[in-house]
A and B are shown apart, each in its own frame.
Chain A
């Protein structure tokens, strides 16, 4: 077994950080971007399990070390699903924007109402 190349690890770290930061935003569009980038980060970290510069997992090709096909298959599935999910989220974000001309996540109205209840009532 081998350690993954540091450069890939750094790349994964930056992608994850960027994705999580975007996830913490109020703009839904940015949140969707965040999920997309998190998808890339996850796929790359799946591929960390194997060394780079290997032959593709095709039988009957030139002889040499072949890369591990399992993470590839996982990542391939993940890519397509990420695509489906981001498209759906995009449509959601768009609907939100269509609703109130603003694609930001507002605070939950009910929660605000409850937290207002705890404050001392106005005498007015």
Chain B
């Protein structure tokens, strides 16, 4: 069963290739899949009819009571035979309907095959959720098939309408299905039907499910999408919109009627809406000129009939309903195919332009006669037998059933009327219309319709043979089976036969007065449902815009403020109502030690001060002070590692901020309104207090011991003395891997933001003197001046300009900071340069020391890397960007990448040589001067971190330092050029 389903989707995936190779004949190959399904269903049929359903149930997510469950009982068998059997014929028909060069044929073939699979899944699904999934799949495929002519606007619009309407119904149905499943405690359809839950909630669920079913089967008030969907190619109309998909709603009604057929809400909705749809759509079909539209309204009318029969909740009505279901599939599909043939052969579907086809296409004519006769319920066709039993089923019921019977008779009168109109319009001679020229259809084109029409003919005489099979479904409906009726071609003389005669007479009358009927129909037309649909859509649009306009103000502070207020309210209410302060907690302490007061006070003052300062630089300094204050508090908290890192990071941040701020205006721009500021202050204070209160009570109420009690022992085992460092590079090295990846990404982000076009490439070369300048300098420098960097003229206003690019001669130069030579004279400071030069090796040594001792004492890769970065920073600040380039030749990206590779390599090395990823090894080294060195593979990992951090800081210096330098210089040069031009 699963393989049959899967075969459809595999075939669908292959379809585009098959179409590319074989053109339209690929459809013949694709038809094999539904053909095989039909064969499989026929082979299963004896067992199923004998009362032994075929099923599989694969547990999928048992926690959510979800399973992959399929089950084929008699109803499933009938639907499978309809979906797969007609699907086969439709695919064969497609092989002649389309031409090889039809645009998008490959996609169409794939979607049509996939649709057949989805339809099969829908009728076989035994799980409500699964049913819904296949249901929606058919909707989506139907959308793609209706919109096959992607260039045509009406086609796209019709597809969209179908999608909107059926999805709306589908989603409503989903709610109903879930309510039903929850009420039943199972999502298995078979179990629900065996023991249906009852109650008000279930009734609501049923109504919601019916909304889905009615919308899918295009009943009122959802019927507008089906006529619109006639934009689809005719095979699609014949398959989806006559035989298969629109039957899904009918199928669902039929599926649930054995459980809920006696519920008043169910009966009212199915019978009431069904009969009303049958009458109104039938009336509308009587005035159509387009043959396809005529059939479409006829289909809507028949679907109403089917829903009324299958939803009525009596055993005989169910028998008539399922017989009618088969009969309808067998007569409506060939009629659609005939319309396709006529359209193909004459180029029109308008019955006012067609004439004389009876003689030019005799085979098609006879097919149509059979199908139409079945539709109108003429003996001896299948339609007649089904309709007779339908009339009989409502003959002796209560008053509402008699009322429904009257409605059905009226509907059938209309059916006979439009059946005749179809036959007359398509084939007969019309005196005022010239005989339509015809290009004769091939045998294979006509064959599918012929097969179906023949089955319609056979269905009548063999109705009594079908009776035991179809009764297998009807007998599951437990009501009204005291004197079970039987399908038969001849029931004898009785009320049904009289009613059939009435219907035929009425239909003939309507046909003979067809002119007046069209006139009257147009006079009495209800408002165009399309217009209502468009109005509803427009109203929804307007509502959406209004809601968006009200809620989405587009202001970031407002959004954020809303979020914070919600946070405060949502967490504040339970804190207050739960009387959190009454928990059992240790006594309140003011401090651990009075010395904490000093850094805490400094931090608090600085944090408050940041809110009120106007100068950016001042704000940066105050933010820095909060950081240093926090670092001091860390120190007292017994966290020297943390304090060290915080101090270093804060320093780097401070410098970086200043580097950027030199380009921004000194003050913050206009202050916000005072009222707004107060509100913001209030929100900020409330949120901050809330977080602190939550932190306090989380700890005061803490009962469990810390989970880190095992860390000292673990650190010892890992061979480290500094537990924190051991945690970072050994015990929880995965976290550190993640962290350095974040840093690498941040570095890449900074660089890409600053070098939008391309990364600046400093000139390569060993330590040497930057020389020469270049043509560009002459813009500043009058021609002929000595091209010495130092000779850049001192400019009283604006910023002096460094050469645009440099060649560095590979030559040892005993300058303190050679790169500084490129700086403008007024920016150089000898003292700073000398200090920087002297300090740099010391700083690097310190950083290496921190790296190496990280495992045993304070330090580690992060701290070491930042220290080395600070050394670079000093050289940059003293000597300018060329000094930075001279200090490190490697690109920051190389350093970052190398760091990542080393860290990741160590981690993988642990997997290769050790037992698992990040597994560490230990060995001892004796190095002179430094002394005993305890080396672990973690050190290598830490070295990776070290390199990466250096790379990060170098990247930041190049991006936010050197790059901004370049921009400033370019601006100064541009303005100088502009001055010269104006001068």
A-to-B contact residues, CB < 8 Å: 1-27, 29-30, 33, 36-37, 40-41, 43-45, 47-60, 66-70, 72-73, 75-77, 79-88, 90-95, 97-98, 102-105, 107-112, 114-119
Q: Flag if B750 contacts A88 (CB, 8 Å).
A: yes
A10-B604, A70-B707, A117-B545 given; A3·B700 CB < 8 A: yes
Q: Flag if B707 contacts A5 (CB, 8 Å).
A: no
Q: Flag if B645 contacts A26 (CB, 8 Å).
A: no
- Of A18, A25, A118, most buried by chain B (CB within 10 Å of CB) is A18
Stretch in B476-484, B517-525, B636-644, B827-835 touching the partner: B636-644
Q: How far is the CB of A78 from chain B (nearest CB, A)?
A: 9
- Cβ < 8 Å to A, chain B residues 749-808: 749-750, 753-754
- Of the candidates A25, A49, A54, A57, which one forms a contact with B724 in the assembled complex, judged by CB atoms under 8 Å apart? A57
Q: Is B669 an interface residue (CB 8 A)?
A: yes
B-to-A contact residues, CB < 8 Å: 545-546, 548-550, 552-557, 560-561, 564, 585-593, 596-597, 600, 603-604, 607-608, 610-611, 616, 619-620, 623, 626-627, 630, 633-634, 636-642, 645-646, 649, 652-653, 656-657, 660-661, 663-664, 668-669, 672, 680-681, 683-685, 687-689, 691-693, 695-696, 699-700, 702-703, 706-708, 711-712, 715-716, 720-724, 727-728, 732, 735-736, 739, 742-743, 746-747, 749-750, 753-754, 857-858, 862, 949, 952, 956, 959-960, 964, 967
Residue of A nearest to B544 (CB): A114
- Of the candidates A3, A55, A93, which one forms a contact with B587 in the assembled complex, judged by CB atoms under 8 Å apart? A3
A17-B689, A68-B708 given; A94·B960 CB < 8 A: yes
Q: How far is the CB of B690 from chain A (nearest CB, A)?
A: 8
Q: Flag if B642 contacts A75 (CB, 8 Å).
A: yes
Interface of A (DSSP majority class): helix
Q: Flag if A6 contacts B589 (CB, 8 Å).
A: yes
Whole-angstrom distance between the alpha carbons of A52 and B639 in the complex?
Answer: 9
Q: Flag if B642 contacts A76 (CB, 8 Å).
A: yes
Q: Flag if B691 contacts A13 (CB, 8 Å).
A: yes
- Of A21, A37, A117, most buried by chain B (CB within 10 Å of CB) is A21
Contacts of A85 in B (CB 8 A): 742, 746
Q: Flag if A88 contacts B688 (CB, 8 Å).
A: no
Interface of B (DSSP majority class): helix
- Of the candidates B642, B691, B724, which one forms a contact with A79 in the assembled complex, judged by CB atoms under 8 Å apart? B642
Contacts of B610 in A (CB 8 A): 18, 22, 33, 37
Q: Flag if B749 contacts A72 (CB, 8 Å).
A: no
Q: Flag if B637 contacts A21 (CB, 8 Å).
A: no
- Of A3, A67, A82, most buried by chain B (CB within 10 Å of CB) is A3
Contacts of A47 in B (CB 8 A): 633-634, 637, 639, 642
Contacts of A2 in B (CB 8 A): 586, 589, 699
A59-B715, A79-B646, A112-B554 given; A104·B724 CB < 8 A: no
- Of A7, A67, A75, A97, most buried by chain B (CB within 10 Å of CB) is A7
Contacts of B636 in A (CB 8 A): 52-53
Q: Flag if A86 contacts B552 (CB, 8 Å).
A: no
Whole-angstrom distance between the alpha carbons of A67 and B715 in the complex?
Answer: 15
Residue of A nearest to B712 (CB): A59
A18-B607, A37-B626, A88-B746 given; A12·B721 CB < 8 A: no
Contacts of B593 in A (CB 8 A): 52-53
Contacts of A40 in B (CB 8 A): 603, 626-627, 630
Q: How far is the CB of B631 from chain A (nearest CB, A)?
A: 9
Q: Assuming A14-B688, A33-B623, A79-B642, what are 7 further A-B pairs, CB within 8 angstroms?
A: A21-B684, A29-B661, A37-B623, A43-B634, A57-B724, A66-B638, A70-B707
Q: Flag if B728 contacts A58 (CB, 8 Å).
A: no
Q: How far is the CB of B687 from chain A (nearest CB, A)?
A: 5
**Which are the 9 A-B pairs with shortest beta-carbon distances?**
A111-B554, A17-B688, A21-B684, A67-B638, A16-B688, A13-B692, A52-B592, A108-B554, A115-B549
